[in-house]
Each structure stands twice: as C-alpha cells, then as structure tokens.
Amino acid sequence: MKYMFILLVTFKILKKLTKIQEAMGFQTSHATKRIAQPIFIAKEESSDANSIPFQRALILNDNNLTNSNPISSCYDSWMAKHPSALHSFDTLMKSAIGKKIIVFLDYDGTLSPIVNDPDRAFMSDEMRAAVSEVASYFPTAIISGRSREKVKDFVKLNNLYYAGSHGMDIMAPPTISVGSSNSEHCDMSNNINGNEVPFQPAKKFLPAIRELLRRLENEVKGIEGAKLEDNGFCISVHFRHVLEEDYGLLEEKVKCVLEMNPQFHLTEGIKVMEIRPSIEWNKGNAVEYFLDTLGLSSSGNILPVYIGDDRTDEDAFKVIQSRGQGYPIIVSSTPRETNAFYSLRDPSEVLIFLSRLAKWTKNSYLSRPLNLG
C-alpha cells in the first residue's frame, strides 16, 4: 500500500507539471515535431553588375537531404563541373605539349593562406621555391589586389612579373619579347633583367586616392578593429576584427566619404571593403596586357594558366575562357559559381600543382633527343 501511495502521488505531480508546461507553450514529448532548419553557405556578390556572383547562397532543407553530409555532397557535385586540376593533371599536360605555357597567379588565398592580419600573409619557403622553379621555365606573373611593392616584398622573387592593385600597377617587359609562335617552350622567363617598365592606367587618380585615404583615416579611426591598407591605386578597409554591431557604422562612414568622390566605387570581398577608381580595367585586362607585351596576344599556340581564389580573378578567368585556350583554375573548398574550368581546394594543393608542373617540364626537357648537329 505504501508503494502504491507513492506511485499515485508521483503520477499526480507529473500530470500537474505537464499541464504547467503546456500552459507555458511547451509540447510534450509525444507531440514534438522536428522543424527543418536550412543550412546556409556564405553569400558574396561579385565586383560588378555584369559579372557572375563569386559565391551564391546555397540553401539546403534537411527534409530533402539524403546524405548525412550535405555540404560535402554539394561540393562533390560542384567538383563534377570543375574537376580537380590535380586529378586532371596528366590530361591537362597532354594538351600542353608543344604549347607556350604562361602562368598567372593571385597571391592571398592562392600562394598564401587567408589570415587574420593582412600584414602577416606570408607564403611558405616551399611555395616560394615552387613558384621560382615554375618561373624558370615559363613567363610567370603575380596579379594581386595588394600594392605591387607589397606583394613583391612578400614573394621575394626577381624572376617573375608583378601587377598590383588588381592589375592597375603593372611592371612588364618594355618591348615585345617573342615574335615567333613556332618554338615549343620559350625563354621569356630569362628576359626579366631590371629593364621592365611600369604601366599604370589609373595614374591620374593618385592625388585623389591620397586625399581619400587621409579622409578615411580620420573617419574610421574611432572604430575598433577597422584597418586601412594603402594598395597604391586602391584602398582596402579590413573589418575582420570589427564588432558586428559596429560594421553598419563603418560601412556608413566609408560610403559617406565615397559620395563626395564619384570617380571611385566600392566593392566587398572576404571581410574587406575595397575602394577602386571607376575605370574599365581589371585582372582580365592585366592578363591581356601581359600577353600583348610578351608578343603572344595573337598566338594560337599558347596555354595561359591562371590560378586564383578571389572574385576579382573571375575577370581573368573570363578572358582565358573567351580565348578558347588555357586553363582558368579556381582555389576554393566550397561550391561557388565561377568561370574557371578546374579547381584546387587550397594553397596546399596549389603548391602540389606548381611542383608537378615544374617536374613535368623538367622531365619533358630531359626526354628530348640531343641535337648533335
């Protein structure tokens, strides 16, 4: 009887607790229904209205998921359209036989990892050695959003070409280096001898950029975490360390300064706003300029290889795509719309690709029969 009494009291207590929960808006366990939650992958718009989005929002409803890892499954589907340049390496090199290869590289996120402090985006010694070896075989150019001097200071190599400010500050050969389209692999990489000349299509904007930088420094200095970077012909406003509640104020201040300078426009990248002159010039134009100064713009026997991870690299991808020759390769570990044909996951795979390219070239030279006269 004693145990029956205890059970009865316990049952009544539980019943009262259930009624209290229902009165407060909770549901009992037998009525609980799992609500499907969407999974979002970051969205970033492209740098201009005519280019495709660099990353689009991908919404996956878990009611429709048949794979336990939907993001991985989505990446696999994306890889089917943009196969790994490593897995496809042998196929790519078969098409490269007898062609003049020209290599174009972005810096941040391609040769170096994306880091919290932009001043510490160092490339590894292994990457530097790989880039140097590739540049010893092929004309090689780094096209970065950084200032040309800064990216050269990071790379510390003298056997390649540099373009900073998204291609608005180029150091290129002074004259056409190659006139023949019959040689297999050219010796253009040996033409870098200190006689290069600068090409700066936005040079007339420099005084306005200096004034713009001065005004921005005064406007954002009170916002903790905001960092300005002078990239020569463009200005970067980094907000990786800005509190979320302060971002709106930062954006408002930057746009307010720009309203008085209509000759500039604002784009946004990964945790950075960029202010650039409103001229028809981008990384794609820089690729065309290099090909022209190297005497290869009209050649049907070249194979440009462009590797980059940024939305601004899409302009270069489009140029290579439009030529119908070459390999645009995007560096990304997440699905994104792109004009690239192939992909690499991260800078570690870029290192492997460049090392294999150098080794393939070296073996190609060694396997050639000697010309004894």
Break the chain into its structural domains and give their ranges.
80-172+281-367, 203-277
Q: What is the DSSP string of 248-284?
A: HHHHHHHHHHHHT-TTEEEEEETTEEEEEE-SS--HH
- pLDDT of 5 reads 56
What local confidence, expressed as pLDDT, does residue 286 receive?
97
For residue 260, the one-letter residue type is M
Residue recorded with tokens 């300078």 = 261
> How far apart are alpha carbons 105 and 344 in whole angstroms?
13
The long-range contacts involving 90-96, CB below 8 angstroms and separated by at least 24 positions, are 92/327, 92/342, 93/360, 95/303, 96/303
CATH number, domain 80-172+281-367, options 3.30.420.40, 3.30.70.2740, 3.40.50.2300, 3.40.50.1000 = 3.40.50.1000
pTM reported for the whole predicted model? 0.75
- Residues 54 and 311: beta-carbon distance below 8 Å: yes
pLDDT value of residue 196: 75
Looking at this protein, which amino acid is placed at residue 118? P
Angle at 348 between CA 343 and CA 350, to 5 degrees: 45
Residue-by-residue pLDDT tens, the chain, 373 positions: 555 555 555 555 555 555 544 444 443 333 333 323 332 233 333 333 333 333 333 333 333 434 456 667 888 899 999 999 999 999 999 999 999 999 999 999 999 999 988 899 999 999 999 999 999 999 999 999 999 999 999 999 999 999 999 999 999 876 544 433 333 333 444 456 566 788 999 999 999 999 999 999 999 999 999 999 999 999 999 999 999 999 999 999 999 999 989 999 998 887 899 999 999 999 999 999 999 999 999 898 999 999 999 999 999 999 999 999 999 999 999 999 999 999 999 999 999 999 999 999 999 876 655 443 3
The helix/strand/coil state of 217 is: helix
Largest pairwise CA distance in the chain: 115
Q: What would the two tokens of residue 201 be?
A: 């299509």
SS3 of 32, please? coil
Based on its alpha-carbon atoms, the radius of gyration of the chain, rounded to whole angstroms, reads 27
Look at residue 194 in the predicted model and tell me its pLDDT. Answer: 62
Pairing of strands 197-199, 327-331: unpaired
**Pairing relationship of beta strands 272-277 and 264-269 according to DSSP bridges:** antiparallel
Question: What φ, ψ does residue 30 adopt, rounded to 5°?
Answer: -70, -15
User: Which residue, 138, 139, 136, 167, is CA-closest to 151?
Assistant: 167
Look-up: residue for tokens 């921005």? 216
CA distance 328 to 60: 28
Evaluate whether 80-172+281-367 and 203-277 have a shared fold.
no
Kindly provide the residue ranges of all beta strands, DSSP E only, lying in the chain, ordered along the sequence. Answer: 38-41, 58-61, 100-105, 140-143, 161-164, 169-172, 197-199, 227-230, 235-238, 264-269, 272-277, 302-308, 327-331, 342-344
Collapse the DSSP code of 228 into the 3-class scheme (helix H, G, I; strand E, B; otherwise coil) and give the result.
strand
* Residue among 328, 324, 329 at smallest CA distance from 299: 324
As a whole number of angstroms, the distance between CA 172 and CA 198 comes to 6
Second CATH level (architecture) for the domain 203-277: 2-Layer Sandwich (3.30)
Helix (H, G, I), strand (E, B) or coil at 321: helix
Q: Which two tokens stand for residue 152?
A: 């050269």
**pLDDT value of residue 28:** 37
Cβ contacts of residue 69 below 8 Å, gap of 6+? none
Q: What is the pLDDT of residue 68?
A: 52
| Whole-number pLDDT of residue 73 | 81
